[in-house]
Amino acid sequence: MATSTDLTAHLIRYAGPNTFGPDVIDHAAGSFLFTEDGRRILDFTSGQMSAILGHSHPAIVETVRRQIGSLDHLFSGMLSRPVIDLARRLAESLPDPLDKVQLLTTGAESNEAALRMAKLVTGKHEVVSFARSWHGMTQAAANATYSAGRKGYGPAAPGNFAIPAPNTYRPDFTTADGELDWQRQLDFSFELIDAQSVGSLAACIVEPILSSGGILEPPVGYLAALQHKCHERGMLLILDEAQTGLCRTGTWYAFERDGVVPDILTLSKTLGAGLPLAAVITSAEIEAAAHDRGFLFLTTHVSDPLVAAVGNTVLDVLTQDKLDERAAKLGLVLRQGLDALADRHRVVGDVRGRGLLAGLELVAEGADRLGTQVTARCLELGLHMNIVQLPGMGGVFRIAPPLTATEEELALGLQILDQALTDVA
């Protein structure tokens, strides 16, 4: 019989041996979490990289209270004003021809729907994604995920291929001066894809900045070249902006920097600012082709009015408070602080990212263990951090504070991280 002090006695561990932290969170406000025993923890991951407006934002709280009292959930074919408005506003925030929207719940669902749509429209089934990708744990999304979770679950669906992610810090194809030769890497990647394909290439799904893959940002020009590779093969390009969308990187959408428009865009995490809301957005042409072929993807919570109302409030706050500009400004402050840490600590090999999505890579011998220890020490000192540990990369801190964070809160987080690196390293 489990004792009352064994907090996890009845919980399934769903993310390895360290699924659960040592604290029980009682409440949260702004950039801080508060434990049952009274500790205050600065949240440098925006919850699950989602709470871009911080915790318990007054506008979100008011919307949830109002909406839950009037209209929360409907039959999947019924329309509500929050759903109609959010679809219109998302379309208006995006370049042409992205103007058709489906509202779902999670990032995995939106990627699942996008891949299903791409296969139906193209009449093909093969999918390409990055070798350090994370797109979700449902079937098609998991088959396109290579950073974790592939072993032990039986055969993956046929026709899923991985290409190397462009890593400017650890280049595999190099120019004469040692820089990443991404064009040669991309050409070689698709030579291998063409060799393995059975002639049924449907889609390529990538993040504009790989987050779980270690905050890897493709060089300028890469996404445009990737889109060209896709279109010359009749493939659709799906961009997964679960973590980069809606002002996180200093622009409304990360792909804006690259001058590309995806065939299908998926949003999730940031769209609900901590509540479960996701979207698939595509062109009228692709939507019509999918509909003509009998497109079917619905869930219990498709087009739910409660979270759609929250999504509208998120767009309100992002617009009114100009949080794209704020993320760009605070991103420079964060980057300067992380660069200073890199100068002081020899174990820091690289600082990268854009806006308020930053990565700090440890390079010391035993960096895996070091990263775990630094993460634990940060938590002891009152800072929640997330460490990405992948083969070939010692450990990358994934830093994504709320867009509403203050410069003082960023300074506090950097101070605690500095202290943790000093204590452990």
Rounded to an integer, what distance in angstroms lies between the CA atom of residue 348 and that of residue 341? Answer: 8
What does the CA dihedral 287, 290, 293, 296 come to, rounded to 10 degrees?
-110
Contact 330, 410 (CB under 8 A): yes
C-beta neighbour count of 176 within 10 angstroms: 6
**Could you tell me whether strands 32-35 and 383-384 are parallel, antiparallel, or unpaired per DSSP bridges?**
unpaired
Catalytic residue numbers, as ranges = 134, 207, 240, 243, 269, 398
Rounded to an integer, what distance in angstroms lies between the CA atom of residue 58 and that of residue 19? Answer: 30
Q: List strands edge to edge, sheet with 236-240.
A: 98-104, 278-283, 264-267, 236-240, 201-206, 126-130, 160-163
DSSP state at residue 180: B
Gap between the terminal Cα atoms of the chain:
41
As to burial, measured by CB atoms within 10 angstroms (0-12 exposed, 13-18 middle, 19+ buried), residue 245 is: buried
As to burial, measured by CB atoms within 10 angstroms (0-12 exposed, 13-18 middle, 19+ buried), residue 83 is: buried
